[in-house]
Structure 1
Amino acid sequence: MLALLPTIVTLMLMFLVTVHETPSRNEEKYLQGFLLVSLVIAAYLLFLRILENVFVFPEWAKIITLLVLFALLCSPISVVVKAQRVDLERLRPSVTSSTSLLMDEPEWESSDKLAVENIMDYDEGPTDTVQRKASSILQPDEQKNLWQAMCTIDFWFLFVAMICGMGSGLATINNISQIGESLGYTTLARSTLVSLWSIWNFLGRLGAGYVSDIFLLRRGWPRPLFMVFTLAVMIGGHVIIASGFPGNLYVGSLLVGICYGSQWSLMPTISKEIFGVVHMGTIFNTIAIASPVGSYVLSVRVIGYIYDKEASGKGNSCFGTHCFMLSYFILASKLQIEKIDVTKKPTEFCGSPL
């Protein structure tokens, strides 16, 4: 299903994708509406998971909570309807339409004015912010294809960072239920941990984009710096999981889950800023090969091997902090903090690029 279903859905529905001109000059508020709905749904699910660990829901309560969830999932339609209604009102002919259209400023001028107004919200003057935004956009002659990107040390920094960061994150979610079992967590607690991981992952993906944008525009901090920060926090999360103290998985999975989601949010943008947008899809998905590679190496060759060794002579299961302690200390040691200097051109080391 994972291999075929996304491809089949894309092929079936791609004919619906077309370019439409819209009179809307600012779509950001609608995007924020979708994000707000997503945050409400995440908070609702988190609230339910907490209640399920305290109370036993009767059947009627489960039906009500399910209906509320369906209503929340359908609520983005209201954002679409509102946007469509605004567009229709702008297109509606009126007595003054012939003159108002001539008097209205061009769309590109309105967009520029809106951008300047947004920039003025920051503490710094607009000049520094505009320069920072412009400096992150590569010129056409600086855009790189896949081979040219692979001839830079930055590409392999990102590849290794993904192996260590996302590989260890996948290894954690692959084994979190078994880790909980070895530490004496109940079945309900283990299922709650898996659900909470999804919420932390979502918050990391959403929050990293906003936070990195704010600090990039206000302070000029490059986005790879936040990649370094997430890897450092993941080290702390792995050490907490390895420690085995009561409730350690709740804290450890929170840190690792948020950082894992943050890396999935940061990596495409970092790839775009370093190598350009023209071949970003190819370059990023090539770098993303590191994620399953890291997951296999760390899940099977590290965690699985050590778990089987600790469980040998005791049946097929292992119980106690020793089952995963060494594995997670190894994972923490593999999270090397990589510093990528995006202020300089990537160094080419494999000859003249094609």
Structure 2
Amino acid sequence: MLALLPTLIPFLLMFFVQIHHTNGGDNLRYLNVFSFISIAVATYLMIVIIGEHFITLQLSIRISIFLLLLLLLISPLFVVFKAQLTESRSRSAYHDEIRLIEDINPPENEEQKSNRDQGFLPRVENMNLFQAMRTSEFWLLFLVMACAMGSGLATVNNISQIGSSLGYTSTETSTLVSLWSIWNFLGRFGAGYISDYFLHEKGCARPFFIALTLALMTIGHVIISSGFPGSLHLGSILIGVCYGSQWSLMPTITSELFGIRHFGTIFNTVAIASPVGSYFLSVRVVGYIYDIETSSGMEVCKGTHCFMLSFLIMASVTTIGFAVSTALFLRTRVFYKRFILMRSLS
């Protein structure tokens, strides 16, 4: 299912993809509604997951919770239907307005558009993978993602074993794994919104937020390594939110630095850093040290020593990532001020 379903879904839905002309007046409003629904679903699931840890729910209550969740999940369809109805009424007026504008200001030909684009944003247009790989920004971003995503995946891959070594019950570790997805979502959503605000309103280069999240990930790794009561909960929240933030920031930064024409190729090449970092940290660091710390004759390691050194090493890795992302921020801040901010205000 995991191998075939992601492939089948695009083939089934590709026929619904089409060019859709719209005036865009209500797009932000609809997007905000979708965002509100997403946050509502995440909050609802978090309350249910945490509540089930303390309260035993009857079957009737579980059915009610499930039905309410289904209602939340299908609620975006009502927004879509409303948007379709509203746009169908205003579409004719929109086309009339476009024709009037074209009569007053004839559209640019391809040569004019090319000259204007090259003069306005020369760096972000037409950069392919090999051109991007010849820049230092590409390798700085790749190294940052290896440190950030690799340590994040290493944490979630071993969170059950960490909980077991610290004396958590199977229910508690299952709850942590479930909540990790919510922290991950909040990081993706929040990092995109916050970085957009500071970029457009303050002119702050987006790589700054990668450096900030890596600093917080370092704190999260140190907290988990300490092994004090509740350290896994607090540390997993910090690492989960910051790990999700990387998957929001990295694609956006990639498109801004290297353009969108070859974005898919460049993005997936940078994304290779995630499994590369995860392999070295999960297998060569966490797994190797866990086997060493496990007492002879025992299959499960117990105590804070099982993962302390591993997470201190990962804290060092994210510290290196913080330094590299700071260098990326310093190298691109002029670029963001001159080009990305100008484009966002145009």
Contact 1:164 1:334 survives alignment (8 Å) = yes
**Aligned-residue offset at 1:312:** 4.0
Residue number in structure 2 paired with 1:18:
18
Q: 1:189 aligns with which of 172, 177, 190?
A: 172
Secondary structure at the residue paired with 1:53?
helix
Residue number in structure 1 paired with 2:213:
230
1:283 aligns with 2:266: yes
Residue number in structure 1 paired with 2:128:
145
Secondary structure at the residue paired with 2:220?
helix
Contact 1:271 1:280 survives alignment (8 Å) = yes
Secondary structure at the residue paired with 2:332?
coil
1:5-32 CA-partner distances (Å, limit 9, x unpaired): 2122222332221112235533111111
Q: 1:155 aligns with which of 138, 161, 164?
A: 138
Distance 1:8 1:322 in 2: 45
Larger helix share, 1 or 2: 2
Distance 1:293 1:333 in 2: 17
1:202 aligns with 2:192: no
TM-score by length of 1: 0.83
1:144-193 CA-partner distances (Å, limit 9, x unpaired): 11011111111111111111100110111101011001001111111110
Residue number in structure 2 paired with 1:72:
72
**Aligned-residue offset at 1:103:** 11
**Aligned-residue offset at 1:50:** 1.8
Give the alignment of 1:1-354 within 5 angstroms: 1-91=1-91, 101=96, 106=101, 138-139=121-122, 142-335=125-318, 336=320, 337=322, 338=324, 339-340=327-328, 341-343=331-333
Residue number in structure 2 paired with 1:130:
none
Distance 2:130 2:203 in 1: 29
**Aligned-residue offset at 1:218:** 1.9
Relative to 1, partners in 2 of residues 1:103 and 1:166: Cα closer, same or farther, differing over 3 Å?
closer
Secondary structure at the residue paired with 2:54?
coil
Contact 1:242 1:321 survives alignment (8 Å) = yes
Residue number in structure 1 paired with 2:109:
none
Distance 2:139 2:176 in 1: 33
Distance 1:162 1:270 in 2: 12
Which blocks of at least 5 consecutive residues in structure 1 are unaligned? Answer: 110-133, 346-354
Distance 2:228 2:185 in 1: 26
Structure 1 window deviating more from structure 2 (232-241 vs 146-155): it is 146-155
Structure 1 window deviating more from structure 2 (50-59 vs 204-213): it is 50-59
TM-score by length of 2: 0.85
Contact 1:138 1:276 survives alignment (8 Å) = no
> Counterpart amino acid of 1:164?
C
Distance 2:208 2:278 in 1: 24
Contact 2:133 2:139 survives alignment (8 Å) = yes
Relative to 1, partners in 2 of residues 1:105 and 1:217: Cα closer, same or farther, differing over 3 Å?
farther
Distance 1:83 1:36 in 2: 16
Relative to 1, partners in 2 of residues 1:91 and 1:286: Cα closer, same or farther, differing over 3 Å?
closer
1:196-215 CA-partner distances (Å, limit 9, x unpaired): 11001000000101100111
Distance 2:334 2:236 in 1: 36
Relative to 1, partners in 2 of residues 1:37 and 1:313: Cα closer, same or farther, differing over 3 Å?
same
Aligned residues: 314
Distance 2:313 2:284 in 1: 12
**Aligned-residue offset at 1:225:** 0.7
Which blocks of at least 5 consecutive residues in structure 2 are unaligned? Answer: 105-116, 336-346
Contact 2:37 2:72 survives alignment (8 Å) = yes
**Aligned-residue offset at 1:281:** 1.3
> Counterpart amino acid of 1:162?
M
Relative to 1, partners in 2 of residues 1:171 and 1:105: Cα closer, same or farther, differing over 3 Å?
farther
**Aligned-residue offset at 1:314:** 4.0
